[in-house]
Each structure stands twice: as C-alpha cells, then as structure tokens.
Amino acid sequence: MEANRLMDQAERHILHTYNRYPVVFDHGEGVYLYDTEGKKYLDFAAGIAVQALGYADQEYNQALKEQVDKLMHTSNLYYNQPCIEAAEKLCAASGLDRAFFTNSGTEAVEGAIKTAKKYAYEKDGCTDHEIIAMNHSFHGRSLGALAVTGTAHYREPFEPLPGIVKFADYNDLDSVKALVNDKTCAIILETVQGEGGIYPAEEGFLKGIRQICDDKDILLILDEIQCGMGRCNTMFAWQGYGVRPDLMTCAKALGCGVPVGAFVMTERVAQASLKPGDHGTTYGGNPFAGAAVSKVFDIFKERRLTEHVAELSVYLEETLEQLKSEYDCISARRGRGLMQGLELAVPAGEVSSKAFAQGLLIITAGTNVLRFVPPLVIEKEHIDEMKEKLKIVLDCF
C-alpha cells in the first residue's frame, strides 16, 4: 500500500518527536479529510485548532494563489502591502495597537516575553525581573516559551531555562497575589487553558489579575494561540470577559493553515519597549503570510463566523452534556465556544484511537481529557455525526 510506503519513508528520514496516527492524509473538503486510500474522516481536531475554515475554501485558496503569482518574500527591510493590511485588521479585531508577525505561536510567546522584559528594563535598568505563569499551562517548546510552561515534564529535560519564572495556580487569585513582588514584570496565562485540560478562566480571576497589573504596572500577557480567532464565541476569548491585555499572542487559526503567528500590544507598551534592533524575523509578516491573515479576517467578517460559533457552540455543549448523562466514563464537560473537553475515567488516548478507527478525528488534552476543537464552519449535522461515531466508541468502555 502507498500509505505504508510513505510512513516507512517518514520513519527513516523525519526526526521521531511525534507518535503519529497510522494515516497519510491526501486532501480535505469542508470539515472532512481523506487519506491516500480514499477513507473519509470527520475532523473535530482541525489541525489542533488551526483549520478554522475547514479545507478547500475556494475564496481563501484563491487569495493565496494570486499572492504566489505576485510576491512571496522580500524581508522586513521593506514594506509590503499584504502585511500592512493584515496588521491593520488584526489590530482592529483585537482593539490593540501594534502587531509583530512571527512564524509560529511559540515565536509569538518569545516576542511577548522579550517585550515585557524590555518594558521593565526601560523603567529601572535592571535585568532580574520575574514572570508569573500558571501551573498546567502550555505556551510552546522553544526555551523561552518552555520556561513559562507550567508542566514539569515538558521543562525538566531542558533546565536550567532562561529567566526567573514563578508558577501560580490557574483560577486561584490568592496564589497569584502571593507571588507578586517589585521584580514582577509580567503575568502570562491562556485565557482558556488548552493542553492543561480545557479550563476557561473564571471571570473574577481574570479581572483580579488585570487589577493587580494595573496597580503594579505589570504587563498582562494573554495567550490566545489556541482559544482565539473566533473559537470561544468572540474574536478573542478575553473579549468575552471584558478584560483587555497589554500583550496578546495568537497563531493557529490566524493563518488557517499558513504558518503565521503574532504578538500584539497597546501603544503604551509599544512606545516603552522594543526598539529597532531589539527583535526581528526573516520570514515573519512576508507577503504570502500577510495575504493569508488578511483574507482570514475578511472571511470571518463576511460570513459572521463568530456569531455562527456562538450559535453552534450551544448545540455542541448540549450534545456533550447528553453524552455525559449517558456514559459513566464521562465525569465532566467544560470549555468555551467550540473549544470543549470531556473529562474521562478511561484513558483519553484509547478513546481517541478508537474514534480514529471510526473515521472521527478527536485529540486529547493531558491524559484524561478528550478535546473538541473542530473547524468553525461545522453545522449541526456534523455534531450529530460526531456523536453517533463517538457513541460507538464509548459503548466499548
């Protein structure tokens, strides 16, 4: 079989840092993927919350084809129109003022950390500032992003990591207050924890941290890499709380398949932090990536995708609650918008593997949470199809 040949070839030449499912995907259409053998899969993973528009969206594809024929790359020594338009739309959607485009979410986190440290350095000239992050958080795998990731087994093989980072408990404001001191320059957290088990921030917790930051001139960094771009009923999850960060990171659905991320900040932070020469990137914000981001924002607006998500998320929540009531192996449901999790009393990895065999793609979060992050263009019929496939799997436990 062609798939076996390709997988064998991959195992010979690609560094083994992922335990991949035994499939080679060939193409996609709407909310479905098709492998090289022609098997059809309903996708409730969306490339880990990336493919917000699903697959083979013709308007999106056409914009990229046109940009390929015009200009792919020039470097950041020069201006380019797609990047300028993308930055304007990102700032308008977020209500923030200045954007820096990166190639990934990890790089966006790195940039946000550098911004916070430079902001503090400009105030007092010291280099011993501290960052408060959250236990069970996930911000990326580069050394800086790993340093603020609150899961020990990710960090330990690579320690000592850069910077002074202290970890508080998510949704426990007192644990944050206990760590704040005169050296604290930033507090970073996911508005909805993803890898940590699909935990949305509580409103009082987020507003309390905002107040701490306001009182102490500490920068609030909200990581919206997974929960942003319409997934949680608003364009960015924090907008549903009425709390604005000083810095935000985003990626994943920002490019809907094109590798691109960004960190975005207020004008106040921009004027008092990074200056020419402090940060850079060869590929970030090139014309191709800019065209992707610009078109994504256009499509979100034209199709009113955040409103669609708000409507469909109610149905998804009801469906998952129904499953919870029917199966003893489901102990809890939590989430926000189209970022949902089912906590299981059985190994989530086994459920995910059996779902894969049924032609349903669902990924995990931690060891015991089944994660639902489908394309934002799903309809009720797809949720119904997911439920029927998942019931077949759950009947095995």
Query: In angstroms, rounded to a whole number, what is the distance separating the alpha carbons of residues 370 and 378?
Result: 18
> Which domains does the chain show, CATH number per domain?
2-57+304-394 (3.90.1150.10), 71-303 (3.40.640.10)
Average pLDDT, the chain: 97
Q: How far is CA 75 from the centre of its chain?
A: 26
User: Does the pLDDT value for residue 20 go beyond 90?
Assistant: yes
Query: What are the tens digits of pLDDT across the range 21-48?
Result: 999 999 999 999 999 999 999 999 999 9
pTM above 0.95, yes or no: yes
Per cent of the chain over pLDDT 70 is 100
What is the average per-residue pLDDT within 271-287? 97
Q: At residue 64, what is the residue type? A: L
pLDDT of residue 347: 96
Determine the length of the chain: 397
Query: What are the tens digits of pLDDT across the range 184-237?
Result: 999 999 999 999 999 999 999 999 999 999 999 999 999 999 999 999 999 999
Query: In angstroms, rounded to a whole number, what is the distance separating the alpha carbons of residues 315 and 338?
Result: 10
DSSP bridge pairs for 23: none
Query: What are the tens digits of pLDDT across the range 56-113?
Result: 999 999 999 999 999 999 999 999 999 999 999 999 999 999 999 999 999 999 999 9
pLDDT of residue 367: 84
Residue/partner pairs of 32-41 with CB below 8 Å, 24 or more apart: 33/361, 35/3, 36/2, 36/3, 36/6, 37/1, 37/2, 37/3, 39/359, 40/359, 41/356, 41/359, 41/360, 41/361
- Using an 8 Å Cβ cutoff, are 371 and 192 in contact? no
